[in-house]
Structure 1
Amino acid sequence: MCRVRQPSARPNPPAPPFNAPAARRLRAALGMGPEHVAYGMRASYGLPYVTPDLVIAWERGTITPSNPELTALAGALWCSPGELIGRPRTLREHRVARGVAPEDVARAVGMDLRAYLRTEESGQWRGDERQSAALARVLDLALPDFVAVTGRETELAELLHSAVTTRWQAYVAPVLRLAPLERGVVEAVLQGLHQDYQGHMTATLSWGGGGTGASESGRDFLDRIVEHFWDRTGTTGTG
């Protein structure tokens, strides 16, 4: 009896965030039509199914290219994959955006390739201090990006939330452990965020508790607390 080989149950990794307007702008800047892009991807990258209509669908954002398609599209448009990706959020997205092979990252951080790939799939970084520093170097991660891809952004958000709603002074040291900045900078930023949030709450109270707009403003402030923190420290992530 002939045994039929079953397809692998391992799912394909999700495609990185695609910047459709950038793909359209780059093509137009080269004076190329969708048919030229499609031909280049078929002839040079072995993707025989790519048609002008598919290229247009990518540019309109109705379909997202897969990882191999994104790489081929970047080649056809004479750009790096990173120029076609929206702001990376995950470890894998940062790696793909910079065109670095997983083998190279694993080698740089001193990790077994399979272990590194499991890290990308789980989204949980468990490297030590030396490995973390190597990861930041090989992927050229800004501090906000490093905090995000190592799974520390949620903890940072919780600390900042507590800092602005209670006594901010108690959270300087914990925040510094996650975001190694100058202590004076963190102190000034936490104090400023605390004052701004308390201002939202004071406005709510002064309106007799009926200030729905002020309440919503306060909630929005807390929802974006990490973004406010990085903005005020002058530390920006990948654009």
Structure 2
Amino acid sequence: MSFAEDPSVLPPFEPARARAVRGRLGVTVGQVAYAVMAYQGRPFPPALLEAWEAGTVVPDDSEVKALAAALWCSPVDLVGEPSTLAQCRTVAGLSISRTAAELGMTRDRWEDAERRNRWRGNAAQTDALLRVLRPPPACFVAACGRSRQLRNLLREAVNGWWPNHVTAVARIVPVEEAVLRHALEQLHVFYQQLEGAVGASSWAAAAAEAQASDFLERIDLYLWQQLRATGNPPHARA
């Protein structure tokens, strides 16, 4: 992928958001389809818009932009949470050059970070990244290549005395410690409930064991769910 022209890389399309925007405008599928057709300059059947809104067909970035124009909104209003550094930049509405300048690095270094989705900035650059692009915690941790380390810490936390792991998790996840403390407690309680079901009937115990195994395998995803529920954005490191 060439970054020569500052491409816009959108997060995944969210059908529910598109339906909500159209609903707030009070326009029909046919009216929006006509507007999309006018924007693109080629036929656009209403059935395709219905498929987008149902989630059975996924529009590409250019089609999302066309739909946004038809709905008088920003493409960002029709997509979900960014999961890559490039998507974070697009959501922030910044060019590659402007992003590099804001973070205090060369354009080449930022382009490389986007291509690899790997963050290797120093402390000051990381602070700027969190302030300027505000990557979701899941995106930031993945870009730093610390997802496996985080999963291991979370597994230790739910299996033991979780308060001892708050500080270590906070060094990886850019969220206030008080928020992480609450999230870890919730994960611990849920996992211990699964473990406590072992003494139930054989069927219930087997089901709980399978659920506990799945929980540990995807424990970081459960953490992200907890953090999204709190509505707390990532914060710059002290």
Q: TM-score, normalised by structure 2?
A: 0.72
Measured in 2, the distance between the counterparts of 1:22 and 1:120 equals 26
1:40-86 deviation per Cα after TM superposition (whole angstroms, max 9, x unaligned): 44545xx3235134433322323322223222322221222221012
The correspondence of residues 12-161 of structure 1 with structure 2, limited to 5 A, is: 16-41=11-36, 43-44=38-39, 47-49=40-42, 51-53=44-46, 54-141=48-135, 143=137, 145-161=139-155
Measured in 2, the distance between the counterparts of 1:216 and 1:208 equals 14
**Most deviating of 112-121 and 82-91:** 112-121
* Aligned residues with identical type, % of pairs: 36
Q: Which of structures 1 and 2 has the larger relative contact order (alpha carbons within 8 angstroms, sep 6+)?
A: 2
Q: CA deviation at 1:87?
A: 2.7
Q: TM-score, normalised by structure 1?
A: 0.72
Q: Look up the match of 1:175.
A: 169
Q: Look up the match of 1:203.
A: 197
Q: CA deviation at 1:160?
A: 0.7
Measured in 1, the distance between the counterparts of 2:28 and 2:164 equals 59
Asked if structure 2 preserves the Cα contact closer than 8 Å seen for 1:20 and 1:59, the reply is yes
Q: CA deviation at 1:134?
A: 1.1
Q: CA deviation at 1:220?
A: 3.7
**Most deviating of 173-182 and 156-165:** 173-182
Query: Any stretches of 5+ residues in structure 1 without a counterpart?
Result: 1-7
**Most deviating of 132-141 and 168-177:** 168-177
Counterpart selection for 1:216 from 206, 210, 213: 210
RMSD: 3.6
Measured in 1, the distance between the counterparts of 2:223 and 2:191 equals 12
**Most deviating of 34-43 and 16-25:** 34-43
Measured in 1, the distance between the counterparts of 2:50 and 2:175 equals 44
The higher radius of gyration belongs to 1
Query: Any stretches of 5+ residues in structure 2 without a counterpart?
Result: 234-238
Q: CA deviation at 1:195?
A: 5.4
- Per the alignment, do residues 158 and 218 of structure 1 end up closer, same or farther by CA in structure 2, a change over 3 Å counting? same
Asked if structure 2 preserves the Cα contact closer than 8 Å seen for 1:98 and 1:139, the reply is yes
